[in-house]
């Protein structure tokens, strides 16, 4: 029996897919990822959850949303480390996908082609308003893209930008409310 047939028999009817949850900081991306993964568990599907090792703001081995909900996850140092354990489950969740290397889109595609439901959450733009890491490529391949919005702290409109308050230039400044705030397009451009 060919390997992919084995995978589909194990997973049951239906093929794999890629779902993306994106938006600015504080828009609820991790919350939505956790909601979908919890629903998969209720449906008795096997779930594997992965996050980048670099993101240890809250916990080394769990996803924690800004409002402190959590779910256990496996921190990995590179995207290729997701492939083998991802093949052992029916649903793969990936948080903070923008911090992964450029192999992530191919890994997601490979898992989906093998029958895995892949749910990816991450920032679609960095603090400069530019497409962030592997997210644009994953969004292009995805069956569905959900764009979430925060609330602009200046005017209350939907915010799609993560405005950096700290003066550091690097793209990967991990931080919380002291470092970033959500802003709409107009308020972001009025910096």
State pTM to two decimals: 0.83
pLDDT confidence of residue 1: 36
Cα–Cα dist 65/54, whole Å: 16
Q: How far apart are CA 36 and CA 77, in angstroms?
A: 24
In degrees and rounded to multiples of 5, residue 106 shows phi and psi of -65, -40
- β-bridge mates for residue 51, sequence order: 75
Sequence ranges of the domains in the chain: 3-148
pLDDT tens digits, residue range 29-71? 999 999 999 999 999 999 999 999 874 444 455 555 445 455 6
- End-to-end Cα distance, the chain: 60
* Exposed/middle/buried for residue 21 (C-beta within 10 Å: 0-12, 13-18, 19+): buried
Active site residues: 96
User: Which residues, 6+ apart, have CB-to-CB distance to 110 below 8 Å?
Assistant: 83
CATH number of the 3-148 domain: 3.40.50.300
Mean pLDDT, the chain cut into blocks of 10 residues (191 residues total) = 38 77 96 96 96 63 51 90 97 97 98 98 96 98 98 97 79 61 96 75
């Amino acid at each position: 029996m060919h390997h992919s047939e084995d995978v589909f028999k194990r997973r049951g009817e239906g093929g794999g897919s890629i779902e993306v949850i994106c938006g600015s900081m504080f828009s609820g991306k991790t919350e939505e990822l956790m909601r979908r993964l919890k629903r998969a568990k209720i449906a008795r599907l096997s779930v594997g959850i992965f996050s980048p090792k670099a993101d240890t703001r809250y916990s080394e081995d769990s996803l924690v949303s800004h409002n402190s909900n959590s779910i256990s996850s496996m921190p990995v140092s590179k995207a290729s480390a997701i492939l083998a354990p991802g093949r052992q489950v029916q649903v793969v969740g990936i948080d903070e996908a923008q911090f992964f290397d450029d192999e992530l889109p191919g890994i997601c595609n490979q898992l989906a082609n093998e029958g895995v439901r892949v749910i990816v959450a991450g920032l679609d733009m960095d603090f400069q308003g530019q497409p962030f890491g592997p997210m644009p490529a994953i969004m292009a391949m995805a069956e569905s893209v959900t764009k979430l919005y925060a609330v602009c702290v200046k005017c209350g409109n939907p915010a799609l930008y993560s405005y950096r308050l700290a003066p550091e230039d690097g793209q990967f400044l991990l931080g919380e409310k002291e470092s970033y705030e959500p802003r709409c397009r107009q308020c972001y451009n009025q910096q």
